[in-house]
Structure 1
């Protein structure tokens, strides 16, 4: 649905987007994660035809963002960080106005307004002016306008910015539900956003994509190995002799011994499914297993390591 190749954009001597390339597909929620000033918003503005790039190419739903911008705009719903709302308009009045801006046939307008009210949970505020609404409901109205023409692609820039914790959860759930049918590309600098919402993550820093993958893939890449914690009731000598024979185990450390139970931290080759293999070893030898868990790398560690490396 989105193909970006070597996209570059500068402001004077500052390179905001530096040869960025990525693909995005229908049915996924793709998070563009990076610190403030990393190039997230500039990338989105190019994809929504708000800005032109200096070099590279980008297509949205098969249309070139530089040569076919009007066709691109028909395929996307866009919610910028500051939602384009008119405080003196009523919610229904505003949504009806947006159906006209999007040039929907009159016969479809009532149906689409009702649909986005249901999707975005606006039933309780449809009689109010936008200026009377809380920040959370205003964001819902902004999301509703991006959906009014039923586009296959949603591009959301910092959609939970300024919301309280309960409002953030509500908007996250909305995004996840919408992402079951549409491509959703959204930017954020808030780590819990992507781990709670996204099926895939692009980490951008200093205008460059520095990582691309699912949260699990990024964690695995950062670790470079699997680390398993295991506690076994059995002969310590026999257990350690067995660990020394396992090809996938690169290193092990005894961490605890108590009442015949011995604990180990085991380092294994990435992709070896070490936890499952160790379970079978324990069963085969007739030992008792009292603990088995695979250590995970927090997404925060991945993010900080990747962005710090780029800044060195």
Structure 2
């Protein structure tokens, strides 16, 4: 008998299925801790950092410690409404009622004790710097909240994870935080204005383009409403022309703004001498068009075209053009 709460698939069963993802060493998940009780055991600097992360995620942080580092004391003082100092006799109860437990254990014996109690109550536990006793791990974080990126190396090389974080930080502008918040606020309105499928996808593609090019302004909401109306009416989106300079002898000498533009471009116009190292910075879906003189190309209607110009690596010019712009880019683009 089929369970009434299980969704039934109308697709025919096939014998083979294409694999969509390679093996993962860990499963990346995001835990909503707003208003949830979590437990920190230990008063060290390392425990303070984990406590600060949990408080930033909106958790109620219960703390058990015999003593506290100066940093931990300062943290508690600065956010007294987020932290609850507990007594030793309350430990078992606090573990049982916690959503997760983080412990800076002084040795393996203490780590096993905390883990055994947590497992008894089915509470996930993290023992700082002792991965063999952990149910979950903390990764390096790129914070553009409500957009959050976490990076894990499965404890193999934390410094490697930090290096990856720094590079992502360079590519993602800080203004994305404000755009992500605006996306949360505008999502319901966009869904009401636009039909599922092509219309909504087109709108959010335009939203992303604006997020990487502009700061959030007082008029941004009105501009998004206008963009949604244009999509509904079938009007073409504006074209964007971006000129980026580069040096053949040093292709890594590109600006952060140039990297962001390449990641958002629909078409990359370049010459035969443009180094592959530059072209590889663009997103995979972008069309690459090789011409004798990149300056001859205009922007196809509704597209973002990046023209790579040999010379000054600091060159960056961007222009929003009319959607009626005639394209000199070959039709294959």
Bigger relative CO (Cα 8 Å, ≥ 6 apart): 1
Larger % of strand: which? 1
Give TM-score scaled by structure 1 length: 0.22
TM-score computed with the length of structure 2 as normaliser: 0.21
